[in-house]
Amino acid sequence: MTRFWAVVPAAGVGRRMRHSLPKQYLPLHGRCVIEHTLETLVNHPRISGLVVAIGVEDSYWQDTAFAGHPRVQTVPGGPERADSVRNGLEHLAASAGDTDWVLVHDAARPCLLPEDVDRLMDQLQADPVGGVLGQRVRDTMKRTDAGSRVTATVERSGLWHAFTPQMFRLGLLRRALDTAARDGVAVTDEASAVEHLGMQPQMVEGHAGNIKVTQPGDLTLAGFFLQQARHHERF
């Protein structure tokens, strides 16, 4: 039977958050950001195990609730997110098969709902490529020059925000990230590496609350979505 695994890049420093603590360790509703993130994945019955990429200078991970958890293994992170993910995939290859699915999910997205994970799995498990949780763009989109002057209004239909998890088969994803690295193509998500191989990942509509904590203020928003999830079980 094909299995599902999760790889969680958590080796960033959160520069845009402008806080002395890396954002994945900032407090949120009595826990830290990454504890909320991992909670959903660790408790998901269809996920066989998790690999978390931790920064080499990180001294906070060991104090989280998931350090030493039997379903959670760690690897050292790399200089870029893609490097951290590649380290996680390499580690996973010791226990997972090439056709097993891997869900790569940002540590900085603490509001992931289990039903979004299920929707991704259900819609993609027979897919030849794999795909990405996201949301269709709602606003009118503008392209600008360096001075923020509008140069064009971009057709909105067919535009999406790409979230995580991004789900691909282990063998394909390793090949995609290796190829992108070899070709010197900077990839900010797994899908772009797969696209670089000439394949077309599938977008799967997810919940808008699955935000990435990126800038000051996002924590308040994440707190709101977590509270909503608790009170209503879903948004």
Q: How far is CA 161 from CA 98, 127, 208, in A?
A: 28, 21, 10
Contact status, residue 97 vs residue 84, Cβ threshold 8 Å:
no
Q: What is the DSSP string of 63-108?
A: GSTTTT-TTEEEEE--SSHHHHHHHHHHHHTTTS-TTSEEEE--TT
- Cα–Cα distance for residue pair 125/36, rounded to 1 Å: 25
**Stretch of 9-17, 168-176, 203-211, 221-229 contacting ligand CTP, by CB under 6 A:** 9-17
Pick from 6, 12, 102, 210: which binds ligand CTP (CB under 6 A)?
12
By C-beta, is 80 or 127 nearer to ligand CTP? 80
Residue 211 within binding range of ligand CTP, rule CB under 6 A: no
Q: What is the DSSP string of 191-205?
A: HHHHHHTT--PEEEE
Binds 187: which of ligand CTP, Mg ion, none (CB < 5-8 Å by kind):
none
Residue 84 within binding range of ligand CTP, rule CB under 6 A: yes
By C-beta, is 147 or 184 nearer to ligand CTP? 184
Pick from 214, 223, 228, 235: which binds ligand CTP (CB under 6 A)?
214
In 13-169, alpha helices (H): 33-42, 81-92, 114-124
Beta bridge partners of 203: 132
195: which residues sit within 8 A by CB, 6+ positions away? 201
Pick from 32, 41, 89, 108: which binds ligand CTP (CB under 6 A)?
108
Pick from 36, 81, 86, 174: which binds ligand CTP (CB under 6 A)?
81
**Stretch of 13-21, 96-104, 153-161, 226-234 contacting ligand CTP, by CB under 6 A:** 13-21
Residue 53 within binding range of ligand CTP, rule CB under 6 A: yes
**Residue 23 Cβ vs ligand CTP, minimum distance, rounded to whole Å:** 6
How far is residue 168 CA from its own chain's centroid?
A: 12
Pick from 16, 136, 156, 234: which binds ligand CTP (CB under 6 A)?
16
Name the site residues for ligand CTP (rule: CB under 6 A): 9-16, 24, 53, 77-81, 84, 106-108, 212, 214
